[in-house]
Amino acid sequence: MSLLRTLANLGYGSRREVQALITAGRVRDAGGRALRADAVVAHAEVRVDGQPLDPAQGLVLMLHKPRGVTCSHDDAGPLVYTLLPPRYRMRKPPLSSIGRLDRDTSGLLLLTDDGALLHRIISPRRHVPKTYRVELAEDLRADAAALFASGTLRLRGERTPLLPAALQVADPRHAVLTLREGRYHQARRMFAALGNHVLDLHRERIGALPLGDLAAGAWRPLAADEIARIFAAGVAADGAATAPVQRRA
């Protein structure tokens, strides 16, 4: 692929704007030599204004989604894509969120321009587990964990029961919930089915990949070994809790 097309696909501008960058001598190789628009150069060797190129196609980002931000390209209000550099929003193929977190849910969100990986993660056949910290308005029912693990719970308006889910209780109003499917507002609706209301919902892990200490609103690219961790963990078939949990500070 020519340098001109590569830079345009990475969001450095339209082809005309990229051509202007090249003509101005702002695109060089690692040795400082000016490059031509039709040059074919290894990604790692290109510099724009002295800086390495953004990651090539196949980018996967981890983002700590804050509350009040929407996982959408065009809804009203703050959008997750506005947390990224403007150039990242112009990439071709575009970055898309891998699944969604609703406006009032915070935590780990993945974005990628790799369509095959996106579908691999969200595929119902994969059952990639997603783990949430939950704060509730009322004390949990004593049978909540058993009911979630039973595989018999039905959400209002749905005929198919939920897959078993693991609920680990920290105290009567705080718990960790691990799901293996992603129905619409599933976590909130599960607690609503028990007559409770979710005050705060925070996704802290996808598969074996934790959010860690990434600050709210911050993001970073994932390395190949981190992407592999998404598929490295599962949930027991009965959804049973395996260890006590601590409340999130």
Paired sense of beta strands 209-210 and 130-136, if any:
unpaired
The conformational region for residue 25 under phi > 0 = left, psi -120 to 50 = alpha, else beta, is left
Cβ neighbours around 129 below 10 Å, total: 19
CA distance 236 to 208: 14
Q: Is 89 helix (H, G, I), strand (E, B) or coil?
A: helix
Pick the catalytic residue: 29, 102, 104, 200? Answer: 102
Place of tokens 């290109």: 46
Q: Is 168 helix (H, G, I), strand (E, B) or coil?
A: strand
CA distance 53 to 59: 12
CA distance 198 to 188: 6
For residue 144, give both structure tokens.
């909540």
Output the CA angle 110-116-117, nearest 5 degrees. 30
C-alpha distance across the termini of the chain, in Å: 49
CA separation, residue 116 to residues 55, 67, 111, 240, 242 (Å): 18, 28, 13, 31, 32
For residue 213, give both structure tokens.
């200490």
Residue 102 appears among annotated catalytic residues: yes
The length of the chain, given as a count of residues = 249
**Catalytic residues, which ones?**
102
